[in-house]
């Protein structure tokens, strides 16, 4: 079949890749350049998502835990296993038993994925690895594994695989309406945050709605050895302190927006991330220590009043020969691309 994919983020690229593997004739369009938007603005984790266990997304977590292995096998030069610590402080955040149960369930769902199991580290070991963590009230930490990627490079690697299989990649070409794609048998709308805009060019009421939730990260030039996942003080949310390309990356936020474009990280988001870091570290940060910041918009399926609780699953809607793709995650993009192709060929 002749297939057009609108949107060369990771979801569109993986859809095009799946179609090309089955020898369809594929053209992948992007209004800007491949991976220019959300797919290069993530937390750079190939992860199951420990925190999604709390919202009961067990099937998604299991899928994602196994998807990590796919990326490590395909492109080991662009991603690597990453050990994270979840420190436990007396009287702060979730109790130890709860994180213990969560990490055990994470291990169980990851069975067969080849990642090391979680374990408890005592206070001395945690402070040896993370000497700047506050020692007052620290009981120890749970160690667990996920993986880290260079999202921009890994995404562009997928696009290169598409090209190798004969996909025509057309950048700086916005699809305004599907009429311009009349020569194609099937069309995938993989426009991520802009998927609704393209959906509205067709009639009828969309079956799903996108929730635009901006997430920002900040960088400091301080090198870091140990990745951390920590609860935001006074909130249910967690945040990451990650080593990334010789720097420390801290994120993220969840700010609901009414438009798909990523606004620059706001002063209050930057302040929030600095405060969250300082709540656990002796080497306090100020605004002067921030050497960079970026933001991206999550195209989440609208499913919850609080964006933190929103599902990270995906959904499809077929209208005529067009398949609209909503939601998803970087980690599971390859599985989502295959599922999208199966729907597209129906
Ligand atoms: C802050 C943040 C942290 C995240 N962290 C993680 C993480 O650690 N791990 C993880 O698995 N997931 C993470 N995610 C989620 C993940 O990044 C997204 O689910 C994924 O990148 C979405 O990809 P996409 O292809 O749908 O969107 P995009 O990457 O935005 O791609 C859509 C593309 O469509 C193009 N486009 C739009 N309209 C048109 C049009 N009319 N014609 C042609 N092209 C068009 C755009 O230019 C864009 O390139 C995070 C997301 C955010 C925002």
Query: Per-residue pLDDT tens for 58-82?
Result: 999 999 999 999 999 999 999 999 9
Report pLDDT digits (tens) over 232-269: 999 989 999 999 999 999 999 999 999 999 999 999 99
> 335, 128, 346, 339: which is closest to 226 by C-alpha?
128
Buried b (16+ CB within 10 A) or exposed e, 147-186: bbbbbbebbbbbbebbeebebebeeeeebeebeebeebeb
Nearest to 49 by CA among 328, 280, 344: 328
Overall domain count for the chain: 1
Is position 331 within any domain?
Answer: yes
Kindly state whether residue 235 falls inside one of the protein's structural domains.
no
Q: How far apart are CA 194 and CA 2, in angstroms?
A: 23
Q: Is the CB of 252 under 6 A from ligand 1?
A: yes
| Beta-bridge partner residues of 326 | 315
Residue 50 maps to a domain: no
280 CA distance to ligand 1 centroid (A)? Answer: 31
Helix (H, G, I), strand (E, B) or coil at 215: strand
pLDDT of residue 310: 73
Q: Which residue has the higher pLDDT, 303 or 29?
A: 29
Residue 154 in any domain: the answer is yes
Residue 345: CB atoms within 10 Å? 14
Q: What average pLDDT does range 51-57 have in this prediction?
A: 90
Cβ(39) to ligand 1 under 6 A? yes
Taking 80 as the threshold, does the pLDDT of residue 121 lie above it?
yes
Residue 218 within any structural domain of the chain: no
265 lines ligand 1 (CB under 6 A): no
The whole-number pLDDT of residue 258 equals 95
Residue range 314-343: mean pLDDT, rounded? 97
Euclidean distance between CA atoms 28 and 77, whole angstroms? 25
293 lines ligand 1 (CB under 6 A): no
Q: Are 198 and 22 in contact (CB under 8 A)?
A: no
Report the pLDDT value the prediction gives residue 346, as an integer from 0 to 100: 94
Transcribe 150-212 into DSSP letters. -HHHHHHHHHHHHHHTT-EEE-S-----GGGGTT-SEEEE--GGGHHHHHTTSSS--S--EEE
Q: How far apart are CA 124 and CA 112, in angstroms?
A: 31
Q: Is the C-beta atom of 298 inside 6 A of ligand 1?
A: yes
Find out whether the beta carbon of 189 lies less than 6 Å from any atom of ligand 1: no
First-to-last alpha carbon distance for the chain, in angstroms, is: 12
Residue 243 lies in a domain: no
From CA 264, how far away is CA 182, in angstroms rounded?
37
Q: Cβ(13)–Cβ(159) under 8 Å? A: yes
pLDDT at 40 over 80: yes
Quote the pLDDT of residue 312. Answer: 83
* Residue 249 included in any domain: no
User: Cβ–Cβ contacts within 10 Å for residue 223, how many?
Assistant: 9
CATH number at residue 30: 3.50.50.60
pLDDT value of residue 93: 87
Mutational test site, ligand 1, from 33, 156, 192, 219, max ligand atoms within 8 Å of CB: 192
> What average pLDDT does the structure give for the chain?
96
Tell me whether residue 71 is in a domain. no
Say whether pLDDT at 304 is over 80. Answer: no
**Rg, the chain, Cα only:** 20
Residue 55: what pLDDT? 87
pLDDT of residue 62: 96
Domain residues for the domain of 155 are 1-44+150-209+312-346
């Amino acid at each position: 079949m002749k297939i057009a994919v609108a949107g060369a983020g990771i979801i569109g690229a993986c859809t095009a890749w799946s179609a090309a593997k089955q020898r369809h004739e594929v053209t992948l369009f992007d209004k800007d350049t491949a991976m220019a938007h959300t797919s290069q603005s993530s937390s750079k984790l190939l992860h199951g998502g420990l925190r999604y266990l709390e919202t009961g997304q067990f099937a998604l977590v299991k899928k994602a835990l196994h998807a990590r292995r796919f990326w490590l096998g395909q492109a080991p030069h662009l991603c690597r296993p990453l050990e994270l610590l979840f420190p436990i402080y007396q009287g702060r955040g979730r109790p130890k038993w709860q994180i213990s149960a969560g990490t055990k369930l994470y291990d169980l769902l990851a069975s067969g994925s080849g990642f090391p199991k979680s374990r408890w580290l005592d206070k001395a070991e945690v402070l040896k690895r993370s000497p700047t963590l506050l020692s007052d009230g620290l009981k120890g930490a749970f160690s667990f594994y996920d993986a880290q990627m260079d999202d921009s490079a890994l995404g562009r690697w997928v696009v290169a695989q598409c090209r190798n299989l004969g996909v025509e990649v057309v950048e700086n070409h916005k699809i305004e309406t599907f009429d311009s794609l009349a020569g194609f048998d099937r069309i995938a709308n993989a426009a991520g945050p802009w998927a609704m805009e393209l959906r509205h060019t067709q009639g009828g009421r969309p079956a799903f709605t996108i929730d635009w939730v901006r997430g920002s990260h900040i960088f400091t030039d301080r090198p870091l050895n140990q990745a951390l996942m920590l609860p935001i003080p006074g909130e249910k949310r967690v945040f990451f302190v990650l080593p990334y390309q010789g720097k420390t990356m801290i994120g993220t936020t969840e700010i609901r927006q009414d438009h798909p474009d990523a606004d620059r990280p706001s002063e209050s988001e930057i302040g929030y991330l600095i405060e969250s870091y300082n709540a656990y570290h002796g080497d306090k940060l100020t605004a002067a220590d921030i050497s960079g910041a970026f933001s991206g918009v999550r195209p989440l399926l609208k499913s919850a009043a609080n964006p933190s609780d929103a599902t990270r699953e995906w959904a499809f809607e077929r209208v005529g020969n067009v398949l609209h793709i909503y939601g998803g995650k970087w980690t599971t993009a390859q599985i989502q691309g295959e599922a999208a192709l199966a729907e597209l060929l129906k």
